[in-house]
Structure 1
Amino acid sequence: MSRIAIIDIGTNNFHLLIAEKQQDKIEILHKSKVFAFIGKGGIHSRIIAPDAMERALQYLQNFKKIIDTFGCEEIQAIATSAVRNALNGKELINLVKSKTGIQIQVIEGEREAELIYYGVKSYLVITEISLIMDIGGGSVEFIICDAEEIYWKQSFEIGAQRLLYDFHQNDPISQREIEQLNAYLEKILSPLFEANEQFLPQALIGSAGSFDTIVDIYCAENHIYNSLKEKKEFNMPISAYKQIHQQLISKNLEERLKIEGMTAERAEMIVVASCLIDFIVNRLAIKQMRVSAASLKEGVLWEWANKKI
Structure 2
Amino acid sequence: MIIASIDLGSNSLSILIAKIDNHRIIPIFEKIYLIRLAQGIKENSLLHEDAKKRCLNVFKKIETLITKYNPDHILAVGTAALRNAIDGEIFSKSILKNFNIPIKIISGQNEANLTYLATINEFKKYNKNICMIDIGGASTEIVVGNSNSIFSKISLDIGTVNLTEEFINNDPPTKNELDQMEIKIKKILTKKIHFPFNKENIHLGIGVAGTLTTLKSIDLNIQKYDSKIIHGSKLNIKNLTKIKKKLCKMKIKDRIKLNGIDEKRADIIPTGSIILKLLMKELNLKSIYINDRGLRWGLIYNHIKTIN
Do the structures match in fold with TM over 0.5? yes
Deviation at 1:290, TM superposition (A): 1.1
> Is this contact kept in 1: 2:216–2:230, CA < 8 A?
no
Deviation at 1:226, TM superposition (A): 7.6
Consecutive unaligned residues of structure 1, counting only runs of 5 or more, are: none
Partner of 2:165 in structure 1? 165
Relative distance call for 1:277 and 1:230 in structure 2 (3 A) is closer
> Is this contact kept in 1: 2:199–2:284, CA < 8 A?
no
TM-score normalised per structure 1: 0.92
> Is this contact kept in 2: 1:202–1:288, CA < 8 A?
no
Relative distance call for 1:41 and 1:107 in structure 2 (3 A) is same
> Is this contact kept in 1: 2:40–2:48, CA < 8 A?
yes
Deviation at 1:48, TM superposition (A): 0.9
Q: How does 1:66-81 map to 2 (within 5 A)?
A: 66-81=65-80
C-alpha distance in structure 1 between counterparts of 2:225 and 2:13, whole Å: 23
> Is this contact kept in 1: 2:133–2:206, CA < 8 A?
yes
Partner of 1:141 in structure 2? 141
Partner of 2:127 in structure 1? 127
Q: After superposition, what is the alpha-carbon deviation per residue over 1:83-122, rounded to whole angstroms, capped at 9, x for unaligned? A: 1111111221221111111111000000000011011112
Q: Aligned-pair RMSD on alpha carbons?
A: 2.2
> Is this contact kept in 2: 1:17–1:28, CA < 8 A?
yes
Deviation at 1:230, TM superposition (A): 5.5
Q: After superposition, what is the alpha-carbon deviation per residue over 1:5-29, rounded to whole angstroms, capped at 9, x for unaligned? A: 1110011110011112234343211
> Is this contact kept in 2: 1:196–1:284, CA < 8 A?
no
Q: After superposition, what is the alpha-carbon deviation per residue over 1:160-219, rounded to whole angstroms, capped at 9, x for unaligned? A: 111001222232222222222222122212355321864532332111211101111111
Letter in 2 for 1:35: L
Relative distance call for 1:231 and 1:253 in structure 2 (3 A) is closer
Partner of 2:203 in structure 1? 202
Q: Which SS does the other structure have where 2:92 is aligned?
A: helix
TM-score normalised per structure 2: 0.92
Q: Which SS does the other structure have where 1:233 is aligned?
A: coil
Partner of 1:216 in structure 2? 217
C-alpha distance in structure 2 between counterparts of 1:51 and 1:171, whole Å: 22
Partner of 1:46 in structure 2? 45
Partner of 2:235 in structure 1? 236
Relative distance call for 1:173 and 1:128 in structure 2 (3 A) is farther
Q: After superposition, what is the alpha-carbon deviation per residue over 1:222-273, rounded to whole angstroms, capped at 9, x for unaligned? A: x9x9874367310123222221111111112122122222220111100111
Q: Which SS does the other structure have where 1:30 is aligned?
A: strand
Q: How does 1:1-309 map to 2 (within 5 A)?
A: 2-125=1-124, 126-190=126-190, 192-195=192-195, 198-200=198-200, 201-220=202-221, 228-229=227-228, 232-307=231-306
Letter in 1 for 2:130: S
Identity of aligned residues (%): 24
Q: Which SS does the other structure have where 1:4 is aligned?
A: strand
Between 151-160 and 34-43, the greater mean CA deviation after superposition: 34-43
Deviation at 1:77, TM superposition (A): 1.1
